[in-house]
Amino acid sequence: MITSAIIPRPLARLPWRLIFMITGIALFGVIVLYSAAGGSPQPWAMKQGSIFLFFLGAAVAISYVSEATIKALIFPAYAAIVIMLIGVEVLGFAAKGAQRWLDIGPIRLQPSEFMKPAIALTLARFYELVPASEIKKWRAIWPALVILGVPAALILVQPDLGTCLMVVFCGLTVMYLAGVPLWVFLAPAGAVAVAAPFVYQMLHGYQKKRVDTFLDPESDPLGTGYHIAQSKIAIGSGGLSGKGFLNGSQSHLDYLPEGHTDFAFASLVEEWGFIGGTILILAFGAVILWGMRVSINARTRFAQLAAAGLTACIFFYSGINLLMVMGLAPVVGVPLPLISYGGSAVMTVMFCLGLLMALERQQRTVSRLD
């Protein structure tokens, strides 16, 4: 918040530090995309910049929505997204071997994107309704598992493993913070370990291959492992300060596949080095820390849980992507928000940030009125 006589109050009340931070990250992303296109604003940088500005506006607009409105809308919104996910299964068309899009007139909708913030909000709302005394009871657990399980299953069959994992992680984070007993998390973790081989058998061929490649990237250096190998080369060849802007041979000569989308971080580190990469990671860390503060400072249980869940969403987005790009997690197809080219990740993250800003505004206004 900036206190100044010149700037009008509504503008001054915006969380400017956060906005500068995310604008900074997005600007870095645009620069990376500019370089990935061989030093050209086309076809990515320009579009990505406009998308960001558009959704920044949307986030600021969302920040004016009151907590009460959010609460009132969340269950219907959740239901609507689940119906859309079913609609994707029924009507969706196959693209890139996966049914992820719903074609409604000129707009291509990817309902699973909305589910990431929605799952956090819905579970926050659900646990707000659960009395404290009931929290350790089965009654407080199974509805949450249904709320989480239905969309997760629908997204998994699309198939979109990355999004499914993120939805599950966001949901589990909210449940964890709500105080659900630990065995709810530990028992399934054990079960997953036991069931993993069976689940593996059920995966799609390309997913299986990704798992195989993760366990042994050298097994397929020209196939799926190629991504990881080239990504590591790009990152590793960057050095402390990088090869310099527009000098990344890995991305410019197309050795790094998806250098503008999922592996944009590798392009970034190749040119900006360890320093550039660390700055970006710290910037994301600052955004997440800001979100966590919103949660800690929240006055209502809903705001508390929702803020934490939305922040977790941003954390998992960036965390999974970075782990994947650096060869610490399987390649599951999660973009790096605000850096990777593509509107949906920007949209989701800005959605989360808009809601977080709304919750934060609420804290301030409420605190003032108290």
Partner 1 sequence: MKMESARRFTTTHQSITFSRRMMLLGLGQAGVGAVLIGRLGWLSVAENEHYQLLSESNRVQLIIVPPRRGWIVDRRNKPIAINRSDFRVDIIPDQLERPAQTLTMLRQLLDLPADDFQRVLDELKAAKGYRPVQVAENVPYENYAAVTVRLPEMSGVQPMRGFSRYYPAGPAVGHLIGYVGAASAAEYEKEKNPLLITPGFKIGKEGLEETLESRLRGVPGGQRVELTARGKLVRELEPKPDRSGGTVQLAIDADLQEFTARRMGEESGSCVIMDCMTGDILAMVSMPAYDPNSFSDGIGRTEWKMLSEDERQPLRNKVLNSLYPPGSTIKPMGALAILKAGIDPSQRINCPGGYQLGNRFFRCLGRHGSVDMRRAIAKSCNTYFYAMGNRIGYDNIAPTAKLLGLGAKFDLPVVSQNYGTVPDSAWKAKKFETNRRVVERPDWTSSDTLNASIGQGFLIVNPLQLAVMAARIASGRNVQPMLLGVHDSPAPLLGFDPKHLETVRGGMWEVVNGDGTAGASRLPLEGIQMSGKTGTAQVRRLSASATRGQGGDWKYRDHGLFVFFAPSDKPRYAGAVVIEHGMGGARAAAPVAKDALTFLFDRQKALASLAGLEQQWGGTLAERTQRRAEAIKAAALGAAAVPRA
Q: Provide the binding-site residues for partner 1, judged by CB under 8 A.
A: 132-133, 135-138, 173, 176-179, 181, 222, 230, 232-240, 249-250, 252-255, 257, 269, 273-274, 277-278, 281-282, 284-285, 288, 292, 295-296, 301, 304, 308, 312, 315, 319, 322-323, 326, 328
Nearest to 280 by CA among 72, 79, 31, 14: 31
Nearest approach, Cβ of 50 to partner 1 (angstroms)?
A: 29
Query: Which lies closer to partner 1 via its Cβ, residue 194 or residue 215?
Result: 215
Query: Which lies closer to partner 1 via its Cβ, residue 78 or residue 315?
Result: 315
Nearest approach, Cβ of 349 to partner 1 (angstroms)?
A: 16
**What distance in Å separates the CA atoms of residue 63 and residue 17, rounded to the nearest whole number?**
15
Listed in sequence order, the residues at least 6 apart from 308 whose beta carbon sits closer than 8 Å to its beta carbon are 120, 173, 174, 177, 291, 292, 295
Nearest to 348 by CA among 307, 314, 315, 304: 314
Query: Which lies closer to partner 1 via its Cβ, residue 33 or residue 172?
Result: 172
Nearest approach, Cβ of 194 to partner 1 (angstroms)?
A: 23
Give the number of other Cβ atoms within 10 Å of residue 317's Cβ. 26
Query: Which lies closer to partner 1 via its Cβ, residue 206 or residue 255?
Result: 255
Residue 37 near residue 45 (C-beta atoms within 8 A): yes
Which residue intervals of the chain are DSSP H helices? 9-12, 16-36, 45-62, 67-91, 111-129, 142-156, 161-178, 183-202, 205-215, 225-238, 249-252, 264-297, 301-325, 343-369
Query: Which lies closer to partner 1 via its Cβ, residue 136 or residue 364?
Result: 136
Query: Which lies closer to partner 1 via its Cβ, residue 102 or residue 287?
Result: 287
Amino acid residing at 211? V
Nearest approach, Cβ of 332 to partner 1 (angstroms)?
A: 16
Nearest approach, Cβ of 233 to partner 1 (angstroms)?
A: 5
Tokens of 336: 């790096």
Query: Which lies closer to partner 1 via its Cβ, residue 48 or residue 173?
Result: 173
Nearest approach, Cβ of 278 to partner 1 (angstroms)?
A: 6
Nearest approach, Cβ of 192 to partner 1 (angstroms)?
A: 18
Amino acid residing at 195? A
Residue 357 near residue 15 (C-beta atoms within 8 A): yes
